[in-house]
Amino acid sequence: MPATTPLIARALLLDMDSTIVNSEAVVERCWRRWAAEQGLDADEVLKVVHGRQGWATMAALLPDRPMELNHEDNRRMLEQETADVEGVVPVPGAPAFMAALAQLPHALVTSADRALSDARMGAAGLPMPDVRITAESVSASKPDPEGFLKGAAELGYAPEDCVVFEDSEAGIAAGRAAGMRVVGVGERAAAFGPDVHVRDLREVRVEALADGSIALHIAA
């Protein structure tokens, strides 16, 4: 990995889907099915589903639809997604990245609920962080910063001391709104203005510094 100026943090906040876990196949299957039920163009739906809780995506796509129907569909889709782990694998570099974080302050901040995060992290063979913020933990979906702010608070660090890892427009916006620096992961993230962009987690090396902080060495 080429030498770079490291990004220094006290704690890391990690999105799950498409950031450390590749669940794109499941997401596409479930949302294509929902789009067909609603008579929507599935390709257009898939452009906006990433990062948000399901009900928030539905509300954005069908603004005149009663919210109770969105919550009902969201519950049904969460059950389907939790049961379907075919094709769920770690993002390249994620196992080594998570192993490097094992003794360092970090949290999962995901729009998935606890059951879905258990299923996907387990299917990908990744360790669950001791601190996780899930759909049940917040009152607002990304791009609202609530989840990241709660993650930082639970870890005991100020927002400016945290670095977020995200893939989606909503997630990157949430990290920025929380006052945090953002590493965008994957091809999709590059378009949304993260502070740093990597193709995958093989381009990140984690170093624990003597003062307790974390140096993130990013491939050029």
User: Tokens standing for 121?
Assistant: 């992290």
In 3-state terms the chain splits into helix, strand, coil percentages (rounded to 5) of 45, 20, 35
Q: For residue 161, indicate whether it is catalytic.
A: no
Q: CA 188, CA 30: separation in Å to the nearest integer? A: 20
From 15, 161, 167, 200, active-site residue: 15
| Residue 63, burial from CB neighbour count under 10 angstroms (0-12, 13-18, 19+) | exposed
Residue 30 DSSP one-character state: H
- Identify which of 96, 79, 87 has the alpha carbon closest to the alpha carbon of residue 20: 96
For the chain, report the end-to-end CA distance as a whole number of angstroms.
8
Q: For residue 41, indicate whether it is catalytic.
A: no
Owner of token pair 């759909």:
135
Owner of token pair 């974390």:
214
Active site residues: 15, 17
